[in-house]
Amino acid sequence: MSEHKHGILFHILDVAFNIIVIVAIVAGIRTFLVSPFQVEGHSMDNTLADSEYIVINKLAYYIGNPTRGDVVVFHPPTEDGKKLGKFYVKRVIGLPGDEIIIRDGYVFVRSNNSDTEVQLDESLYLNDKNWGHTYRHPPSSQDTSEVRYSVPENQYFLLGDNRNGSFDSRSFLQDTGKAIPFVAQSEIKGRVWFVALPITKSHALEAPVYDLSGE
């Protein structure tokens, strides 16, 4: 009888141990490797749609840095965003050391150590509604006058693909109203790897290759 009780206790402990191990593995994967998120809103139309489920690659930024064109999940620099643990999804446009120029509806880049401004070819991911219609804050203003952003070290400049309907680096403000257009690398939690759901729209996301040679 005692052997039978010992067997049941051992079985219960074995099951509990396996559950703990599985939970630890899942937690580790979500913390350091990949994690699911649901898209809210239309700021990334048509690249990502409202209510789609995406999977982000966290490991990419443990072993490397964000690159231009990456679609990333991050905490916004606004105070309320950090307090609420809010996440946004946008596209990396400006890297540390870049100067980003918005002019006449287009985005230009003067990359680090370059004296040449190059128009960023965004036709691969901006739809007809947004291509040539990137404006200064507020995004819906249709103000084509020039605005420049010098991206500091370890900071990034991010824009949504739905340029007239995105709250992004053009619009981030402190409670005092002061502009805070850059996102710290530490607040970027991962690169969007693929769209998981709905299944009919499941596909991987790849960053575009830009030609900034100016030739």
Amino acid identity, position 17: F
pLDDT at 4 over 70: no
The question of whether 90 is a catalytic residue gets the answer: yes
pLDDT at 19 over 90: no
In the chain, the N- to C-terminal Cα span, in Å, equals 85
The CATH number given to 33-198 is: 2.10.109.10
Residue 177 confidence (pLDDT):
79
- Exactly one of 58, 90, 111, 166 is catalytic; which is it? 90
Q: Which of 108-112, 152-156, 207-211 has the highest mean pLDDT?
A: 152-156
- Exactly one of 2, 5, 43, 186 is catalytic; which is it? 43
Residue 79 confidence (pLDDT):
66
Instruction: Please tell me whether the overall predicted TM-score, pTM, comes out greater than 0.85 for this model.
Output: no
Residue 32 confidence (pLDDT):
46
User: Do strands 34-38 and 53-57 pair parallel, antiparallel, or not at all (unpaired)?
Assistant: antiparallel
Domain ranges of the chain: 33-198
pLDDT at 46 over 80: yes
| Nearest alpha-carbon partner for 147 in 97, 185, 181 | 181
Residue 44 confidence (pLDDT):
97
| Nearest alpha-carbon partner for 160 in 176, 194, 178, 183 | 183
The question of whether 201 is a catalytic residue gets the answer: no
